[in-house]
Structure 1
Amino acid sequence: MRALIVERKGVLSLRDINLPDTLGPHDVRIAIDTVGICASDVHYYTHGRIGSYVVNEPMVLGHEAAGTITEIGTAVHGLAAGDRVCMEPGVPDANSRAAKLGIYNVDPAVRFWATPPVHGVLTAAVVHPAAYTYKLPDNVSFAEGAMIEPFAIGMQAATRARIVPGDVAAVIGAGTIGIMIALAALAGGCSRVLIADFSAEKLAIAGQYPGITPVNIATEPFRAAIARETAGWGADIVFEASGSAKAYADIIDLVRPGGALVLVGLPVDTVTLAVPEAIAKELRIETVFRYANVFDRALALVASGKVDLKPLVSATFPFEDAIAAFERAAAGRPTDIKLQIRIPA
């Protein structure tokens, strides 16, 4: 099948490749319609690696996807050919200790699309376990279906935060994941969310949503804005979604005593955290790695209309222009939140 492939660091191609396509009894075959471009996809293209995951051989990119089932395995129930679906890209070992504990996202044996050496889904069709395939309601488009994956990260963050209705949350970083966290926090019961970034363009997009207050930290320290909005008390929950080591300089000051700090962004550089100050406030610190047991609820929130992801799709490219789409994503336009690629039937 033809696919978008990262051949090696800095080199993409659209070419044919032989991919596994054996349909097991518990699998479904899916014709891919829409695939979102994630920052991790771009990083494999531009850097050839993320931590210990290295592109040592050509790999198909893409893991945020939606499509239509064309065939089901003999033991599949609840799904049928013709169903429009989105897919959870990480498949764990069902017998692992992590899976048994319900934390399959941290299973060392998980096979995650577009994570070396596992191929992604920027191609015409894939085979995937039915257990990690979710039927799209009629009112949810393929574009929205392909956005469920990044929204699931926001759902995981909101779940880990243990939101209490009425909480005030603060999010550092107004990129795709930061906005997803803000939307999930509101849906989870937060009364309002302050979101900080240096990009006026990204803040303007986030600020379109009722309940989200953008803070441009190029002109006002986030600490001052939070203090003003909370009468000096601090945010009930602070989500770090920028991945910047600089965000940790005063992050403890943003959280109220007894509040929660939820770490989502992955810093490249070593960070320094003021542990004595965190202890003095008796903060609860949570971390987030991908997601587990939230994909269906993320889809349900979008289907209900309580979460609208449509304004976050900045542009859609035909499959033939997939390389150009990745070049635009790598350029990092401040007005871009999510770029998507459509694959012809």
Structure 2
Amino acid sequence: MNSRRDVERGGGGTKNTYTYSAANSSAYVYVAESRRNPWLVLVCVLVNFVVFIVAMAINNCPKDNFGFQGDCVPGFFGRFSFQPLRENPLLGPSSSTLTKMGALKWENIVHQHQGWRLFTCIWLHAGIIHLLLNMTCLIYISIRIEQQFGFLRIGLIYLLSGFSGSVLSSLFIRNSISVGASGAIFGLLGAMLSELLTNWTIYFNKASTLLNLLTIIAINLAIGILPHVDNFAHIGGFATGLLLGFILLPRPRYSWLEQRRLPAGIRLKSKLKAYQYILGIVSLILLIVGLSIALVMLFKGENGNDHCHWCHYLTCVPSSEWDCDNEN
């Protein structure tokens, strides 16, 4: 039976076989990639929840809150109760606790040489609402691509995207702290987009898949122009994930041919297309150059807004309802 079925689609079981009629009419059996258990996604979710619990324990609102903004909520949570809602409406710790635990803060990174904050901030969240939203998005986005590509590549995309989002955020935001895994999650969205584009030929319903993905990305970026949302981290993470997807997630027109199923004397050649190699090389160069320039600018203390006078509109659009200049 000759078939050119989409390797994204398949029946149950861990492996699905597909046959392809070669030029000499011999039937070669192709085996789709095994579905891996998405343990990395679950570990990331668990770590984020544990870090939040630790942050609340360190925060200890009943001991350190002096009632200026109201009472701790709810009081019966003891040291795990949240800061007053007027101070933190997302139900979480104080900004001083987040800063102590590694929140992104330009002053500390540049003048106190605390570059480690570029990584630690992606494991912190401003509140339980912030945490639940991010973890829901992470689970929804990541499980499928980790099953298909494995934990190593997806973990690398997650960490580098979060790091790059932190770098871009630090270049443009100086007067407030930033926390959250949003940059890393946007990196996974970017990787999904580039994976779709570079592996375009293996998909059915290409246009609808692309449209759905672009809609999700556009809505989330649009939300980032509201106050108190760090859209620079989103943009930096998305751009990095997009490039990393071209580098790490290309795959052959059909899945790899199992060597034991090949007829004697037949060698398996690379099934990657020329455009996939070109996209990967160009993306690697852009990623290295872009990240290097951004890091040099950051540690020299340069302000990104001096080089892009309109970029501040990417993270907050002025309105009669809020003041972007005094955003906390």
Do the two structures share a fold, i.e. TM-score over 0.5? no
Structure with the higher strand share, 1 or 2: 1
Q: TM-score, normalised by structure 1?
A: 0.25
Q: TM-score, normalised by structure 2?
A: 0.25
Structure with the higher helix share, 1 or 2: 2
